[in-house]
Amino acid sequence: MHSDRFRPLVDTEGPFVSIYFDDSHDTQDAAAQLDARLRDVRKHLEEQSVDTAVIEAMDGAVRGTHPPVGRSGRAVIASGDTVVVDEHLIRPPTTTVIRVSELPYLIPIVEHGLLHTVYLLVAVDHTGADVTLHRAGRVSTQTVEGEGYPVHKAKSAEHEFGGAQPRVDEAIRKNIREVADRVTQLVDESGAALVFIEGEVSARTELVAALPERVAEKAVQLQGGGRTAGTDQAEVQHEIGQEFLTRRLATIDDAAQRFAAGRGTGLAVEGLADVTAALRDGAVDTLIIGDLGDATVVADTELATIAPDADTLSDLGAAPERTLRADEALPLLAVATGAALVRTDERLSPADGIGAVLRYAENSSAG
């Protein structure tokens, strides 16, 4: 997962409140269930003496966005009364996670979040399209109505050879081009990483063919859905979730292969000592996060120097001013240095629950 989306957290002062919960909208009482979860979250935050303004800001962020379709999780991270991160997750967490800490907690997003927070969903037919822009949990939809007419196929050979069919074909091409132009404009303006396309096979195929190559390579055709009333949006969202899951697994697989290949060559390290050393040097290309448990690291006041223990930090000429959870500090330091983040699965089990693929070979490991 690219870390650019978390960059605002690096420049934000704590303490932070990080919340992860199930906000699925797949039952008739989904709204009531959400209310109950938010009341529970509020209770826990009040017990931890979190300011009311922070609680209200987080509650308002959740209630103020379009509800998801089907199974979903939610990630909300706030600093003070400002919500810095607000994202939907492909899968809801098994239990609600609430942390009030010096640093934000990112791992559940790395594990269950969308690889790309900005994407388009295009429901297309031969008359136009409904184009929905998804941007970090915010949803906006617009309609493109093509001016080409008629778009219905000729129903007789007489019409077919009498000139009606070419007019129909040209009308369809005109409408598809209008949709392609608008989709291209939205991709360029929003930086969308993926374009999901639903609708009849012919309309989907024609739209992809009409897109410029830089946009067409981002297109993913969905088997379900369409522009007609009564479309099963839960099925569409399931397909989108499966596509993101497939891409996440491919990212883990790539990291696992690079990690295995880098062992013994200086291009991969594992364990708290060596990974913190690589992070200090800005050498980490991809941080591989496993089960860190309650492990801690120490840092100076500004988090400019970090080490697995106070002695190592002192040897580096820094005063051990802060003791931090490793599962919060290491991902945030990776974000600060532009490293990608990957949550491990059974293919990866680095020492101490942490590993890294490096940008370049390090000459020596931490002492």
Alpha carbons 286 and 279: distance in angstroms, whole number: 10
Structure tokens at 32: 């009531």
Measure CA of the first residue to CA of the last residue in the chain; give whole Å.
30
| Residue 129 · residue 227 · CB < 8 Å | yes
For the chain, how long is the longest CA-to-CA vector?
Answer: 90
Total residues found in the chain within this entry: 367
Residue with tokens 């974000």: 335
- Could you list the pLDDT tens digit for every one of the 367 residues in the chain? 888 889 999 989 889 999 999 888 777 787 888 888 889 999 999 999 999 999 999 988 888 776 666 778 889 999 988 999 988 888 888 899 999 999 999 999 999 887 777 899 999 998 889 999 988 667 888 998 876 565 565 555 444 555 666 777 788 888 999 999 999 999 999 999 899 999 889 999 999 999 999 999 999 999 877 777 667 777 888 888 888 888 888 888 999 999 999 988 989 999 999 999 999 999 999 999 999 999 999 998 877 789 999 999 999 888 888 999 999 999 999 999 999 999 987 778 899 999 999 998 765 444 4
Q: What is the pTM of this model?
A: 0.82
CA dist 119 and 196 (Å) reads: 8
Tell me the chain's radius of gyration from C-alpha atoms.
25
Strands 118-125 and 138-145: unpaired
Q: Which ranges of 212-353 would DSSP assign to H, the alpha helix? A: 213-216, 233-262, 272-280, 310-315, 326-336
